[in-house]
Chain A
Amino acid sequence: MDDAVMDRVLEADRVLASMREEVDVVIVGSGCGAAVAGLDLARAGKSVLMLERGGLYLPRRRDFDQREDDMFARIDGGRGLHTTENGQGALTYGGCVGGASVHYWADTWRAPKDRLDRWEREHGVEGHTEDHLRPWFELVEQTLNAHPAPPRRRNAMNRLFVEGAERAGIEWEPVVQARDDRCIDSGYCMQGCAYDGKQSQLVTHLPAALASGARLFADCDVERVLIEGGRAVGVAARFLDRRTTRPNGHRLEVRAKVVIVAAGGFATAPLLLRSNVPNPSGQLGRNLQMNPCPQLFGLFDREVVLWRGIPAAVGSMKYRLHTFDRGRYVEGGYLLHPNQLPPATLAALLPGFGAEHRRLMEAAPRIGSAIAWIDDLGSGSVRLDGEGEPIWRWSLGAADELTVRDALKKEATVLLHAGAGEVIVPDPAGTRISELKELSRLDTVDLRTGSMTFACPHPAGMCRMGRDPSTSVVDSSHEVHAVRGLYVCDPSVFPTAVSVDPSETIMAFSHVAAEGILRRMG
């Protein structure tokens, strides 16, 4: 973001008193969902104000220092420590200007046709089929400079993944990346790009929205959507001190014709619950799916250096869909990828402790890893505690457990075929597998709560879209059935998880939503 747009951004250290604003559209959040809607509405001449709870961090301020602790603290919604109530799911999500796109991997996928068709068929979602979304997908891909990384830019783990998959007969393909030529393959995507090479919202839709007249308040925590007579009329918010993350005493009230909540798949439903949004279907805050990610590690006799290069320049779609035989699970239901982990996160995930763990870490540069995003069949929910803080409830259900075990077997297969001398399972027993014939041991590996943790980076479903107000929360225009003028523009509206990484679909959906909002506003 250059100086030309910076005067449209307000940060809490410049807020000296409580404030009131009146605008056409107020947007909660500044991630993929918010920024796209903000851009389209500002371009159409609406006065747009985006409110972001997190701080504004920029490479030119040298904020992206690539340290895991500093960067989790700055850019992750829960500073890296939020989990589901039982600790089984580690929630990774956005918490700064630009949202989760600031720490995403930049893998760029269109929602598959079968998933969009299913949402239309089973949930009555209208206007979001592949045909409707195609022009928006094309526009997003152009804006994000989305293209496959050339083979020369595959890191060692990516190359091992290709070798292993080919030997195992698993088809793989390049994964489209949202990057430009400023990307230097540093491997610090998850900690926020210090080079503006990764095409996060910080370098794409957000500056464009600001240049089109939108404004952005950072460090601004929206507490409630204001609802009068069944209509959203604005929001109530408070400013936070960035150093302590506590309220700084100054408040903000915004009156608006339209309120868009784009606080992300984990945070939007809690905000609506806190705002006492009527919930006649009972579905608000339910149906949480989040692509839990089981991962395995492989010990190689050569350097892999898991923390360098583009994380997942390749992957395999082969097992994306579950297959069943007369109702019985056979295999699939996940995407398979090479993994990327910075050292301290790797340490936290490797099994064991003391001398045994030390030996593993001393071999850290030779450790590789494969990961899968599980397309969940089960789901979770969110409720508020006495202080209005969200408590996410989720645990790995029986059906997803089968999928996880199958994914672990495929990960082990790839790692062993790629030459790993030993596959390390992050279970409490520290199970090791050194031959393909031992794969069946993964059928009994301990996946119970407290034994294995799953990163969950792709939340969806808690404000699901549908035609029927008795089974869904928003209609196909993204408007909450029960509250006029209140729209949701993030993956909370997806009726289920997408089965691929969701950011491109979130952005395409936001374009559709903004088009409809503009039509209604006139």
Chain B
Amino acid sequence: MSSAPPRPPVAARHPLARRRFLAVGAIGGAALAAGGWLAARGGGEAHYASLCPAARPVVLDVKELGVLAAFCARVCPEPGGAHPGPAAVRVAERIDRELSFHTAKLRADVKAAIFLLEHGGWLHAAPTRFTRLGGPEQDAYLRRMGVEGRELERQVFSNLRLLALFFYYVDDRTWGAIRYNGPYVPRVAPPADSRPREGRLDG
């Protein structure tokens, strides 16, 4: 036995870059493009606006925010018991606001991820958009994406899932449900630096 490292490791697997969210191969790309074209043709502003009512997104557009809100609704706890649910906490809008502090590249990545989430069914010859599926079908769609999906799909699912859950549970209205008694120090108002993320959007 020795602690000397062996030869350098086999070259790391080449990851599909996050930047290249849409570079999913010719077939996938064409499928997604077709999905996007149909989606654009189908309009659907009202449909998407209804998924996140009265929201005024700053980085995402109404459609992207609507898709994100639909995603959060499946990923975060439904309202009930001690849980306010993601709509009350306005998780999608919190994420939108956070993006305003980030680079154009990161924003573009998230927008591309949301597009793939909505239209990714085309990659599996299932053209129905994510937001048009019923709740159980949406869960199955997300499970396929996150567990069995291609690398790109898994990346999209895991990154959006992380954002949704983080921004749900940072809200103090959710803490009772998990028996977190919260910080020891009060939040200062007004904060020293105009608090970057705003605690709540509505209060």
Q: Is B37 an interface residue (CB 8 A)?
A: no
Q: Is B158 an interface residue (CB 8 A)?
A: yes
Is the pair A453, B162 in contact by a Cβ cutoff of 8 Å? Answer: yes
Number of cross-chain contacts by CB at 8 Å = 222
Binds B, one of A41-49, A55-63, A99-107: A55-63
User: What residues of B have a CB within 8 angstroms of the CB of A242 in the complex?
Assistant: 193-194
Is the pair A385, B180 in contact by a Cβ cutoff of 8 Å? Answer: no
User: What residues of B have a CB within 8 angstroms of the CB of A346 in the complex?
Assistant: 169
User: What residues of B have a CB within 8 angstroms of the CB of A321 in the complex?
Assistant: 3
Q: Is B1 an interface residue (CB 8 A)?
A: yes
Is the pair A449, B15 in contact by a Cβ cutoff of 8 Å? Answer: yes
Is the pair B169, A378 in contact by a Cβ cutoff of 8 Å? Answer: no
Binds A, one of B25-33, B118-126, B182-190: B182-190
A465 to B53, CA, bound (A): 56
A320 to B138, CA, bound (A): 44
B185 to chain A, nearest CB (A): 5
Is the pair A194, B184 in contact by a Cβ cutoff of 8 Å? Answer: yes
- Could you mark each residue 1-12 of chain B with 1 if its beta carbon is under 8 Å from any beta carbon of chain A, else 0? 111111111111
Q: Is A67 an interface residue (CB 8 A)?
A: yes
User: What residues of B have a CB within 8 angstroms of the CB of A332 in the complex?
Assistant: 3
- Could you mark each residue 70-94 of chain A with 1 if its beta carbon is under 8 Å from any beta carbon of chain B, else 0? 1001100001110101111000000
Residue of A nearest to B179 (CB): A365
Interface size on A, residues (CB 8 A): 78
User: What residues of A have a CB within 8 angstroms of the CB of B146 in the complex?
Assistant: 353, 428
Binds B, one of A159-167, A389-397, A435-443: A389-397
Q: A307-B180, A344-B169 are in contact. Are A395 and B1 (CB under 8 A)?
A: no
> Which residues of A are at the interface with B, using a C-beta cutoff of 8 A?
55, 57, 61-70, 73-74, 79-81, 83, 85-88, 114, 184, 186, 188, 194, 242-245, 307, 321-325, 327-330, 332, 343-348, 350, 353-355, 357-358, 361-362, 364-365, 377-378, 385, 387, 389, 391, 394-400, 428-429, 448-451, 453
Beyond A73-B98, A307-B180, A377-B5, 14 extra complex contacts between A and B, CB < 8 Å: A57-B193, A61-B192, A69-B170, A73-B195, A332-B3, A343-B169, A344-B170, A361-B77, A361-B169, A365-B180, A395-B13, A398-B10, A428-B157, A450-B155
Q: Can you report 28 residue pairs joining A to B where beta carbons are below 8 Å apart? A: A63-B191, A63-B193, A64-B185, A65-B185, A68-B170, A70-B196, A70-B199, A73-B197, A74-B196, A79-B102, A80-B166, A81-B98, A86-B16, A114-B3, A243-B193, A323-B1, A327-B6, A343-B178, A344-B167, A344-B169, A347-B168, A364-B179, A365-B179, A378-B12, A394-B12, A429-B147, A450-B154, A450-B157
> Which residues of B are at the interface with A, using a C-beta cutoff of 8 A?
1-19, 74-78, 83, 94, 98, 101-106, 139, 142, 146-147, 149, 151-159, 161-163, 165-170, 175, 177-180, 183-188, 191-197, 199
9 tightest A-B contacts by CB? Answer: A450-B154, A86-B15, A399-B9, A66-B183, A73-B196, A344-B169, A450-B155, A358-B77, A397-B12
